[in-house]
Amino acid sequence: MPSALDTPQGASALAESLLPRLGNRWPHTQAVAARAQEAVAAVAEADRDLLVAAAWLHDIGYAPELRDTGFHPLDGARYLEALGASARLVAHHSGAVCEAEQRGLSAELVVSTSGRTPRSSMR
């Protein structure tokens, strides 16, 4: 079942609640979302909202209150799972698979994106 966070409106509201106080992270996120909106014609119509939603949410794991592992794709993914949204919206951006391997978090990343319950819970 789709989540309100799968929409640009829901995703932007969540991002705005978490990122503005993090210096350049909020302007960066706004710019990424704007670029995603420009690129929507390149994906299937059914996936366009999801592309823009993922752009809004891609860095939410940087929010201090979501910090668990210190690896922002995983921390953001876990938070989205806790809200009933898809971890896949944020878990695999910016070379996350390679970085997870270097940090010893590969198994955690797989668990978060498989729909199974992560080993550690969100605060």
pLDDT digits (tens, 9 = 90+) for 68-122: 988 888 899 899 989 988 877 787 776 766 666 777 777 776 655 555 443 333 3
In three-state secondary structure terms, 34 is helix
pLDDT > 90 in the chain, percent: 55
Query: Which residues touch 22 (CB under 8 Å, ≥6 apart)?
Result: 62, 63
What whole-number distance in Å separates Cα of residue 119 and Cα of residue 123? 13
CA distances from 103 to 59, 72, 80, 108, 114 (A): 18, 12, 21, 11, 19
Residue with tokens 């896949």: 88
Q: Give the residue, 87 or 12, on which the prediction is more confident.
A: 12
Least confident of 5-14, 37-46, 66-75, 92-101: 92-101
